[in-house]
Amino acid sequence: MEQDMDWNQRIARRVGREVARAREQLVDERGRRLSAQALADRCAGLGHPLDRSVIAKLEKGIRQTVSVADLLVLAKALELPPLALVFPVGYEEETEVLPGRSEHPVTALRWASGEGVLPPRGDAAEDVQSRWYETALFKIRHLLKSEETVRYNKRRASDHWQRAAGADSDEARQAYERMARNADEQVTGQEALLQRWRQELEEKGLAATTPPIFGEVPNNLLASQGGDRSPW
């Protein structure tokens, strides 16, 4: 039956399935499963009203289309990233990413989020990759990942210095100090690379600034979670 639907209908049905699945997993303020009406209320509160009947039709696969506006508001109301409603990672082995073309949901997600490309077909592999590397999205994503690496190594260095200060033997203190200095050296090198990368972006007319990270990981995370194990 689904094969007889057009692309818009198939996407709407998939989103509807994921909305229903997500709603089943949520509870309201009274500890009860989130109702369609409660979801509709959440959407209205976000500034894009969706009637309960519209949500019911979407979940039942009756609604034939779903707009980007609907998708964004539903995702926020369901406390999910929007693409989780389009590509059911963890629930399906294969999903239709383009009309008649199926890929693993993770592959589809990486492409849609700008993290990678769809596996090219035919002789276009090299051209697809080279074009992707030149996009603003790729360059900014690379900058973000580089900044994350710098923050991670700063936390590692801080954690090692703290452990060194509290070490109960000279041997342990010296080991932690070595690891701390190593992390500090990595930060120095990475920050120099980041500066060059930002200059390249600015030369291409791209914004080289990135937003602050919501919920920044505290410096003591590695110690509390055992992320960097003691050498002893």
Return the pLDDT at 20: 96
Return the pLDDT at 72: 97
Return the pLDDT at 116: 81
Alpha helices in 26-60 (DSSP H): 36-45, 52-59
Q: Read off the pLDDT of residues 106-154 as tens digits, 9 standing for 90 and up.
A: 999 999 988 888 887 765 555 666 777 778 888 888 888 888 889 999 9
Query: In sequence order, what are the beta bridge partners of 27?
Result: 33
227 pLDDT band, cuts 50/70/90, is: very low
State whether residue 194 is helix, strand or coil: helix
Residue 229 backbone dihedrals phi, psi, to 5 degrees: -75, 150
Complete domains list, the chain, with CATH = 2-86 (1.10.260.40), 89-134 (no CATH), 136-225 (no CATH)
Q: Read off the pLDDT of residues 23-46 as tens digits, 9 standing for 90 and up.
A: 999 988 888 899 999 999 999 999
Return the pLDDT at 213: 61
Helix (H) or strand (E) holding 221: helix 221-225
